Amino acid sequence: MTALPIVETQSGDVSAYIPTNVISITDGQIFLSADLFNAGIRPAINVGLSVSRIKLLRIKRGQRLRELLKQSQSDPLAVEDQIATIYTGTNGYLDALEIGQVKKFLVGLRTYLTKKKPKFQEILSKIFTEEAETLLREAIQEQIELFLFYFRNKHKCKWIVFLLFLIQRNPR
């Protein structure tokens, strides 16, 4: 039997009293936020205040997935880019990144796919095949290595990182 009690706190104060029997019959709480809802995030779940028995890793992946779903209303992503973006997040490739790095990485990945793996979009325009998945996986792994190397070492050797960046963008 599943119980889904709904409790409203006074003025959104999560430290307010919640009856003990409500807490004991649930596996956790989901905190819905009016601020998130008004900001256009649906569902408006405040991950930081919600309590659950799922592992922290899944919560962090969820935060990254929410980040990758954000896109401009006036400039939506092409279907091929949406597939690459969602594949990257759902298969754990973004787990090593900070949340603030996700968008920048995905922009770089889409550029890399267009320039270095044009066959990916050609194949994907027909159907998502094993060959398309292999090309996408290769591109993600190559980009994640470069991206993480840059962010881990940018303070140590900026000129080497810059040269690697130039070589990647302008191959001969």
The residues annotated as belonging to the active site are 53
Q: How many CB atoms lie within 10 A of CB 68?
A: 18
Strand partners, 29: 51
Q: Which residues contact 150 (CB under 8 A, 6 or more apart)?
A: 161, 164, 165
Helix (H/G/I), strand (E/B), else coil: 93: coil
Q: Angle, nearest 10°, between helix axes 130-153 and 158-169?
A: 160
Q: Can you read off the two tokens belonging to residue 54?
A: 């799922």
**Rounded to 10 degrees, what is the CA torsion of 14, 19, 21, 22?**
-40
* CB-CB contact of 68 with 91 (8 Å): no
- The overall longest dimension of the chain from CA atoms, in Å, is 68
